[in-house]
Chains A and B, each alone.
Chain A
Amino acid sequence: MNNQLRHLTHIFLILLVAQVGALKAQNVVDLSGTWKFQTDVMDFRRGSLSPRYNHELQETIQLPGITDDYQIGYKVPYKYIDRLTRKYEYMGPAWYQRDIEIPAAWKGKKIFMYFERTHWLSSIYVDTKEVSQIDYISVPHNHDLTEFVKPGKTHRITVCIDNRYQYKTHKWNHAHTEFTQINWNGILGEMKLMAIDPVFVEDLQVYPNIANNSIKVRLQVNNDTKKQVKGKANFTITGPNYNLKSEIAVVSNDSVTFVESTIPLGKNVKLWDEFNPNLYQITAQLNTSDGKTNYQHAKSDTFGMREVKQGKSHVLLNNRPIHLRGNVENAVFPKTGYAPVDDASWERIMLLMKDYGLNHLRFHSWCPPKAAFRMADKHGIYFEVEMPMWGKDAEPDEDRYNFFRREIKAILKEYGNHPSFVLYCNGNEITGNFDFIEELTAEGRKLDSRHLFSGSTARTRVKSDQYYVSQQTNKGPVKVYEGLPNTDWDRSTESDVDVPVISHESGQRCVYPNFEEIKKYANSPVEARNFEVFKDLLQKNGMLDQANDFFRASGALTVLEYKAVIEALLRSSKSAGFQLLSINDFPGQGYAPVGILDPFWDSKGLVTPEKFKEFCGPTVALLRYEKSAYFNNETFTGKAEVYNYSNAVLKNAKLKWWLTDETGKVLQKGNLKTQTIGNDGVFPVGEFAIPLKGVANKQKLTVHVSVNDQIKNSWDIWVYPPHQNLMQSTNQVLYTTVYDDAAKKQLAQGKTVVLYPSPNQVKGRKSVFHNHFWNPIMFAWPPMTIGSLIHHKQGMFNDFSTSYHTDWQWWDILNNAKVIEMQNAPEKLRPFIQIIDSYDNNQKLGIGFEAKMNGGKLLVLALDTEKDMDKRPATQQLLYSIDNYVKSNRFAPEVQVEESFIQSFLTK
C-alpha cells in the first residue's frame, strides 16, 4: 500500500465514523449552551400587556445551570442563623429563550423537548403561543411539541421555569426546600430536542420473576399514525457474559397498546443484591409498518433480577431477610445548591455508604434523579424514596391531592425498573386525611409489585402498609437517639408488629460547628454565615481559641453515641433496620451539625470508616454487658452476639475475646466455642467473664471480640479501686459544701478550700451526659449543652484516666452534677470540667474549676457526693484524684476570682 492510498483510507474511515455519529445524532439536538434569559419579578404572564415571550430576551445564561450560578436574584444581606444563607435568592418565573431550527428531516416524526430535571413548573412557548406545561418535581419533563413546530422552520422557543411553590406543600419538603438544597430555578442534566417515529415505545417496564428466571416485559406502544400498524418488538438482553434475544409480534390499532412478553432468561442469569449487584441491559427495538411506511424506535433500560417481599420482621430480598443500615438523605448539596444529576457525584455517595458499612438510603420527602438510582444499582444500595409530602400535606386540598396522584405514578414509571428502588413511602410525618394516604398506598401496590409501600413515616398506620418507618409502634419506642453505659437492651419487642419496622431518624446528636468549614463555601450558592455569627459570639465571649476543642470533644461524643445507637439497633433481631439522621450534617431546620461528615459529605476527621465499620457493617460482633464502670473487685460479664446479614453463613467461626490496656497490651484472653453462625439474623454465641481483681492498675481497659480474626469490635470499660473516707479535711485543705465563714477564714489564711455544693444548692443548668438532640436552635430544650471538654492534662486528672472528651465512665459524674454559668468569671478562668454551650449562646459553663480567691486556693466541684456512692466508682475515683491534687504542691491556681462570683451561683 502506498502512502497516498493509506492516507485516503484514513480519510474514508474518518468520514465513515463521522457519518455514523451524524446519523445517530440527527434525531437529537442538544440544547445545552447559551440561552437568552430574563428574570421576571412582575409575573409577565399575569401582569404584563406585552409578555416577554413576544420579544427577544436581552440577557444570556448558560444551561444546564441555575440562576444562582450567575448571581441572579436578590443579593441576600442577612446572616440566617437557622440555616445556610443563599447568596442570591430567586423565586419566581424566569424566562429562557432560543431560536431553534427544526431539522427538515423530522417531518412526520414526533418531536419532544426534554429536560432531565427542573424546578418546578416548566412551560414552553413556541413563537408566542404557550403549548405545554409540566409540573412534575421528581421526574424529567418531556414536552410533546409535535403539533406546534414545523420541520424545516426556525421557531423561537421560550421556556418559562417557575420555582414558586406550585401547590400548598410543606415548605420543608426536600424536593423543593430552600433549606438543604435550595429552591433553585434552572434546568439541569440532559436537555435536548428529540425526534422519534410516531409508533414508539412510550414505556418499558421489566418485572423479574426469580422463581423461574424470567422477566415479564410490559411495553406501552404509542401509535400516533391513526392507522393499524403491525410488526415486532425485538428484545436484546445483555450483561457480563450474557446475551439473549427474543421477539414478540406487535399489532396496534389504537393510539395506546400494551404489549406483554414473558422472557425466560435461563439458569445463567444472576440475581441482584447488595453483595452481587448484577445488572442487565434490556433494549426493546420496535419495528412496525402500516403497509406503506416503516416505523422504528428503541428504548433501553437497566434492570436487576431481584424480588422484594414483606417478611415477618424484615424486608425480604430474593426471599432472604435483609437488614437495612441506612442514612437519611435530605437533599444536602451545598456545593451546587441542587442534587447533582451526574453519575460521578452519586457514585461518591454510594461508595461512602459502603465505606461506612451502610446499605440503605432514605430520601426524605424527595426522590433523587436517575443518576442516583444508576449508581445504587451498580453498588448495591437499597433506596427508600418519597414524594414531597410532609406535615399537613394530607389535609384536604384537591389540587394538591391530584399533584400527588400524578407524582406517585410518574416516580414508579420513571424509576420502577431500578433494582435499588426497594421501598416507596409517600412522605414524612404526614398528618391529615389518612383515607387519602391509604388511597395512594393501595394505588402504588396495585401499580407496581417491585417495591414495598408504606403510607407515612412516623405517623398513623394504614391498611396497605407493607413496612413502617417510625419512632414508635403500638408496642413502644423503636427509635434510638442516645446510647447507655450498658448494652443489654434492644428494640426487638417494640418492633414486633404486623409489618417490618425500620427505626426512624435515629441518632441526631449535635456536634459543635467546625468553623474551618466556613471557607468551603467560597464557590457555593450558599454560605455558612450562621457559623460566622457563632464564631463572632465565641470570640466576644473570650473562647475562640477553644472552638476546635469544642468541635473535637462534642464530635467524639457523637461518635460514641452513634456506636451505641447503631449497636442497639443491630441487637434488635426483630427490627428491619434503621435510618441514621445522619452521617452528614443537615444544614436547615436550625442547622443540625449531627454528622460525622460535613454537608459536603467530607469527613470531619472524627472517626475513620474502618473504625465505623467495626460497629456498622454486614457482620458485626456485639456484646451485651451490664455497665461500663467497675470496681476492681467486680467481674465483667459479656454476652457475645454476632449480627450477620452478610452473604454467607460463618462456618466453624473462631470466636475470640481479649482485654487490653491503653497501651494495647493484652491482659486477658480467651475463646468462645467454635461454632457455625447463621446468616440473616442476630445470633448469641456465648458468654465470658473476666474477674477484674488485679487485672491492671490502669483504669481504662478495652474488651475486644473477634470472629475469624476478620470481624472485630471493642468496648471500653473502666475499672477503679473502691475508696473510703474520701474528702477528709486537713489543716491545709478544707472540704465544705457551703461557702461560709469557715471557708472564708481558710482562704484568708492562704490555705485551700474545696467547695462541693450539692447540685440543688447551685444555680445553673442541668448536667447531662448526652450532647443536644438535633440542634439547639430548632429545639431550644434545656439544658442546651453540647457535651463536655475535659482539660485532661491538668493535675486534678492525674489519677483519673480520661480523654479530652467525655466517655461512658463520665456517666455517673455528669448525671449527678450541676452546670455552673461562668460567663461572668474572669476570661482566663477555664473550668477543668468545661461544658460546651449551645453555639448560638456560647457562654462559659463548667462543673469544676480552680481559682485563687481572697489569698487562698479554691477548687469548686458542683457534684453530688452522697447519693449511692457505692455504685459510682468513677465519681469516687475522680474525688480521689482531686484529693491527691489539692493536697499536693501541684495545686497552684493562677486565675483570681472575686467572692461575688462564687456567691452568684450558690443559692442562698
Chain B
Amino acid sequence: MKWRIALSLGMLASQVLHAQEIILDKKASLAQVYLPVVESEQLLSMNDLNVEFGYVLYQTEIVTQTENEALELENVRNYAAVYVDGKLQGTLTDNRKKMAIKTEPGKYLLQIYVENIGRITYGPEITDNSKGLFGGITLDGNEIENWKMLPLNVRKFPVKNLQFDVNLSDENPGFYKGTFRLDAVENTYLDISGWGMGEVWINGKYLGSYWEEEKQRSILIPTEDLAKGENEIVVFELKQPQQKTMKLSQTPVFK
C-alpha cells in the first residue's frame, strides 16, 4: 500500500504545481468595442439590429420614484446583466424576467447587457429565433422607451488593440488582462471558478466562453496555444467586476 500513498502524494504535488494562480490586474473599457449605436423608441431585437450572435448593450435613462421598483422584461434571449449607474443590479434570463431596482428616487442610467452567443438556455418549445431583448420593458408597470442599442464587437475585436488603462475599481463590464509563466507546455485547463459570464483569449487567440451556471468550470487550453515562458490572458467579463484571478488546472473542473 505504500506505493499508492507515494503516488497520490506525487499527484498532489504536481497538481499544486499546476494550480497556478493568474492575476488579472489590468482592465480595458468596453467602449472600445462599441459598434454604431441604433436609437429607437421601442426595443429592437438582435435580429432587427442585424446582430446574428454576440452581445448588445441596451441603454436608456430611467427615473425612479420609490426606493424599490420592479423592472420587468417581456423577453430575454438569452441572458442579461442589469446595471444602474455602472453598478450591477442582477441578472435575468427568459425563465426569470423580473427584478427589483433599489435606488434612492431619481434619474439613473439603465444599462442592460444582453448575451446571445448561441448558448442554449431554453427548451425545444421555443420555436421563434428572436434574440436579444424584444417586446416591452416596464418599470413599476410603466413602459420604458427611447433606447440606445449598442452592439458589442467582443468576439471579433483584435484583443491586441485593446487599451488597458481603466481603473480596476471600475465596476462596469470590461476586459481584464494578466500574464502567467510556464516552465513546460502541455494541455492545461483554465479554471474559471468565481467568474460570471464571459470569454477568454490566450496569447491573442480566442480560447472559449464560460458561464457560472454551467457545471463545467474549465476550458481546455491546447498545447499549441501556449508558449514556454510568458503567456498572456485576456478575459471579457459581463458581471463579476470584483473577480481578479483565475487558475490553471491539470484536469477538467466541474461543479
From A431, A458, A463, A779, contact of B129 by CB (8 A): A779
Tell me the smallest distance from the CB of A485 to a CB of chain B, in Å: 19
| Docked complex Cα distance between A391 and B124 (Å) | 6
Q: Say yes or no: is B220 at the interface (Cβ < 8 Å to chain A).
A: yes
> Which A450-495 residues have a C-beta within 8 angstroms of B?
458-463, 471-477
The chain B residue with its CB closest to the CB of A170 is: B124
- Please determine whether A472 and B216 come into contact, CB atoms closer than 8 angstroms: no
Instruction: Assess whether A498 is in contact with B189, with CB atoms less than 8 Å apart.
Output: yes
Among B226-255, those with CB < 8 Å from A are 252, 254
Q: At the interface, yes or no: A390 with Cβ under 8 Å from chain B?
A: yes
Nearest CB on B from A522, distance (A): 32
- In the complex, the answer to whether B118 meets A392 with C-beta atoms within 8 Å is no
| B207 in the interface (beta carbon within 8 A) | yes
In the bound complex, residues from chain A placing their C-beta under 8 Å from that of B210 are 474
CA distance A431 to B125 in the complex (A): 12
Query: Would A459 and B254 be within 8 Å (CB), given that A391-B125, A474-B216 are in contact?
Result: no
Query: Does B161 belong to the interface (CB within 8 Å)?
Result: no
| Closest CB in chain A relative to B128 CB, distance in Å | 7
User: B residues touching A (Cβ–Cβ < 8 Å)?
Assistant: 118-120, 122-125, 127-129, 189, 206-210, 214-216, 218-220, 222, 252, 254
Within 8 Å by CB of A475, from B127, B207, B215, lies: B207
In the bound complex, what is the Cα–Cα distance between A392 and B220 (angstroms)? 29
Residue of B nearest to A431 (CB): B123
Would you call B128 and A498 a contact (CB within 8 A)? no
**A-B contacts, 16 listed (Cβ < 8 Å):** A390-B124, A431-B122, A438-B215, A460-B216, A462-B254, A471-B120, A475-B219, A476-B208, A496-B220, A497-B219, A498-B218, A779-B127, A779-B129, A780-B127, A780-B128, A781-B128
Please tell me if the beta carbons of A461 and B127 are within 8 angstroms of each other in the complex: no
Chain B residues, CB < 8 A from A461: 214-216, 254
In the assembled complex, A69 has its CB within 8 A of some CB on chain B? no
| Choice from B123, B206, B214 contacting A429 with Cβ under 8 Å | B123
What are the residues of chain B within 8 A of A460 when measuring CB–CB?
A: 214-216
Given contacts A472-B119, A474-B210, A475-B208, contact A463 B124 (CB under 8 A): no
The residue in chain B whose Cβ has the minimal distance to the Cβ of A499 is: B252
A781 closest partner in B (C-beta): B129
* Complex Cα gap A477–B127 (Å): 19
Q: Which A residues are in CB contact (< 8 Å) with B122?
A: 431
Binding site for B on A (CB under 8 A): 170, 172, 390-392, 429, 431, 434, 438, 458-463, 471-477, 496-498, 778-781
Which single member of A431, A471, A497 contacts B220 (CB below 8 Å)? A497
B123's partner among A391, A434, A471, A781 (CB-CB below 8 A) is A391
Q: How far is the CA of A392 from the CA of B81 in the complex (A)?
A: 25
Q: B124, B189, B207, B215: which contacts A172 (Cβ < 8 A)?
A: B124
Residues of chain B within 8 A of A778, CB atoms compared: 127
Top 3 A-B residue pairs of the complex, sorted by shortest distance between their CB atoms: A463-B254, A498-B252, A461-B216
If A475-B207, A475-B208 touch, whether A392 touches B123 (CB-CB below 8 Å) is yes
Closest CB of chain B to A178's CB: distance in Å? 15
Rounded to whole Å, the gap between the CB of B186 and the closest CB of chain A is 13
With A461-B216, A473-B208 given, can you name 15 additional A-B contacts, CB distance below 8 Å? A172-B124, A390-B124, A391-B124, A392-B123, A460-B215, A460-B216, A461-B214, A471-B120, A474-B210, A474-B219, A475-B207, A477-B118, A498-B220, A498-B252, A779-B129
Residues of chain A within 8 A of B218, CB atoms compared: 498
State in angstroms the CA–CA spacing of A778 and B120 once bound together.
17
Which A residue sits closest to B252, measured CB to CB? Answer: A498
- Write the nearest CB–CB distance from B124 to chain A, whole angstroms: 5
CA distance A716 to B128 in the complex (A): 35
In the assembled complex, the CB of A838 is this many whole angstroms from the nearest CB of chain B, namely 14
In the bound assembly, the distance between CA atoms of A562 and B81 in angstroms comes to 39
Q: How near does chain B come to A388, taking the closest CB pair, in angstroms?
A: 14
Q: Which A residues are CB-close (under 8 A) to B207?
A: 475
Query: Looking at chain B's contact residues, is the secondary structure mostly helix, strand, loop, or mixed?
Result: loop
Complexed CA–CA distance, A496 and B206 (Å): 13
Contacts of B118 in A (CB 8 A): 471-472, 477
B195 to chain A, nearest CB (A): 13
B124 touches A458 (CB 8 A): no
In the complex the two chains form, what is the Cα distance from A463 to B215 in whole Å?
8
Find the A residue at minimum CB distance from B53: A477
CA distance A221 to B177 in the complex (A): 63
The smallest beta-carbon distance between A731 and chain B, in angstroms, is 42
Which residues of A sit under 8 angstroms from B123, Cβ to Cβ? 391-392, 429, 431
A459 near B120 (CB under 8 angstroms)? yes
Rounded to whole angstroms, the CA-CA distance of A390 and B125 in the bound complex is 11
A6 to B127, CA, bound (A): 77
B209 and A474 form a contact (CB under 8 A)? yes
Report the separation of the CA atoms of residues A779 and B124 in the bound assembly, to the nearest whole angstrom.
11
Rounded to whole angstroms, the CA-CA distance of A429 and B252 in the bound complex is 22
Residue with the highest number of chain B CB atoms closer than 10 Å, among A172, A459, A463, A498: A498
Alpha-carbon distance A462/B252, docked complex (angstroms): 11
Q: How far is the CA of A462 from the CA of B125 in the complex (A)?
A: 23
> Looking at the complex, which one of A434, A458, A463, A474 makes contact with B120 (CB distance below 8 Å)?
A458
Distance (whole angstroms) from the CB of A330 to the closest CB of chain B: 13
B81 to chain A: closest CB distance in Å? 19
| Residue among A391, A463, A477 with max Cβ neighbours from chain B (10 Å) | A463
A472: which B residues are within 8 A, CB to CB?
Answer: 118-119
Residue of B nearest to A773 (CB): B129
Cα A551 to Cα B161 in complex, Å, equals: 50
Question: What are the residues of chain A within 8 A of B214 when measuring CB–CB?
Answer: 460-461, 474
Nearest CB of A to B118, in Å: 6
* Chain A nearest CB, measured from B232 CB (Å): 19
Looking across the interface, which residue of chain B has its beta carbon closest to that of A458?
A: B120
Interface centre among B189, B218, B252, by most chain A C-beta atoms within 10 angstroms, is B252
Shortest CB distance B188–A (Å): 11
Closest chain B CB from A767 CB (angstroms): 15
Residues of B with C-beta under 8 A to A391: 123-125
A474 to B214, CA, bound (A): 10
CB distance from A198 to the nearest CB of B (A): 44
Task: Determine the residue in chain B with the shortest Cβ distance to A470.
Answer: B120
Q: Choose among A429, A496, A498, A780 the residue that contacts B124 (Cβ–Cβ < 8 A).
A: A429
User: Are B208 and A474 neighbours in the complex by a CB distance under 8 Å?
Assistant: yes
Known: A390-B124, A471-B120. A496 touches B215 (CB 8 A): no
* Bound: A392/B214 CA distance, A: 16
Chain B residue with Cβ nearest A475:
B208
A392 CA to B124 CA, complexed, in Å: 9
Question: How far is it, in angstroms, between the C-alpha of A434 and the C-alpha of B214 when the chains are bound?
Answer: 9
Closest-CB distance, B30 to chain A (whole angstroms):
21
Q: Which residues of B contact A392 (CB under 8 A)?
A: 123
Chain A residue at smallest Cβ distance from B221: A496
Measured CB to CB, the closest approach of chain A to B176, in angstroms, equals 18
B119 to chain A, nearest CB (A): 7
Q: Which of B125, B129, B215, B220 contacts A434 (CB 8 A)?
A: B215
Shortest A386–chain B CB gap in Å is 15
Would you give the shortest CB distance from B164 to chain A, in whole angstroms? 24
Give the residues in chain B near A390, CB-CB below 8 Å.
124
Q: Which interface residue of B189, B218, B254 has the most chain A CB atoms within 10 A? A: B254
Report chain A residues within 8 Å CB of B222: 496
| A613 CB → nearest B CB, Å | 32
Q: What separation, in Å, do the CA atoms of A703 and B33 have in the docked complex?
A: 42
Chain B residues with CB under 8 Å of A471's CB are 118, 120
Q: Which residue of A lies closest to B255 (CB)?
A: A463
Smallest CB–CB gap between A560 and chain B, Å? 23
Smallest beta-carbon distance A98→chain B, Å: 42
B170: min CB distance to chain A, Å: 27
Which partner residue on chain A sits nearest B218 by CB separation?
A498
Q: Tell me the minimal C-beta distance from A246 to chain B in angstroms.
A: 34
B residues in contact with A429, CB < 8 Å: 120, 123-124
Chain B residues positioned under 8 Å from A462 (CB to CB): 215, 254
Complex Cα distance A44/B209, Å? Answer: 56
Q: How distant is B220 from chain A, measured CB to nearest CB, in Å?
A: 5
